[in-house]
Amino acid sequence: GAGVSQSPRYKVAKRGQDVALRCDPISGHVSLFWYQQALGQGPEFLTYFQNEAQLDKSGLPSDRFFAERPEGSVSTLKIQRTQQEDSAVYLCASSLGGSSLFSNQPQHFGDGTRLSIL
Amino acid sequence: AQSVSQHNHHVILSEAASLELGCNYSYGGTVNLFWYVQYPGQHLQLLLKYFSGDPLVKGIKGFEAEFIKSKFSFNLRKPSVQWSDTAEYFCAAYGNNRLAFGKGNQVVVIP
């Protein structure tokens, strides 16, 4: 399809397990973003890629969170040793421009992955 | 750090009523402003955006927003809502290389 695709849509894991969430951005989009959205809250910034370079990871809540985008297209967000507070919807967004042009390019969002940690 | 405030998290109104959702941001420098909408079961979609120029911005589906720099506000309006406007609305501000979202307004339009 033409939009941002995320998989899986739903993920249930036991506390302590590792999980990996995938994002396929819109083809040709330079910028890719991950957000965490807790219940009743707005999306919170996690990290930002420009092509394969991770330019900002200051929003990652702990060193258990790791994101990569090795070929500048698909990105994976990995959470190690999951905790109950990691339960949230994880949103991926992409935009056409690079960092210098970002502010003029709106972000296009995927449907998100709803992660539940038992 | 950039922050965005939205008030009246839950809004219930009848069809044909007017809607106004408030948004205030904290960043004092140059900022780009957005309203996103999330219809039930769908992903976030851009409703309208402000970068520069005319502070009154027209968006899709009859929505508009007014940027008032002196008040750090970017309120969303629609003169006459429809049942299909039932959704969650998020205000967002871009500054310092990141997009900050408000907590959202859950709007329910009763037919």
Give residue B35's domain range: 4-110
% residues pLDDT > 90 (chain B): 74
Which pLDDT score, from 0 to 100, does residue B7 have? 87
pLDDT one-digit tens code per residue, B12-23: 999 999 999 999
Which pLDDT score, from 0 to 100, does residue A101 have? 43
List the CATH number of the domain containing B38: 2.60.40.10
Q: What is the mean pLDDT of each run of 10 residues along chain A (118 residues)?
A: 90 97 95 93 92 92 96 97 97 79 73 96
Testing the interface with A: which of B37, B38, B96, B98 to mutate, by most A Cβ within 10 A?
A: B98
Q: Which of B96, B77, B80, B19 is nearest to A45 (CA)?
A: B96
C-beta separation of A93 from A112 below 8 A: no
Please state the domain extents for chain A: 5-113
Q: How many folded domains does chain B comprise?
A: 1
Which pLDDT score, from 0 to 100, does residue B97 have? 63
- In whole numbers, what is the pLDDT of chain B averaged over residues? 91
- Topology of the domain comprising A5-113: Immunoglobulin-like (2.60.40)
C-beta separation of A74 from A23 below 8 A: yes
Which pLDDT score, from 0 to 100, does residue B35 have? 95
Contact state of B104 with A41 under an 8 Å Cβ cutoff = yes
Segment B45-69 shows an average pLDDT of: 93
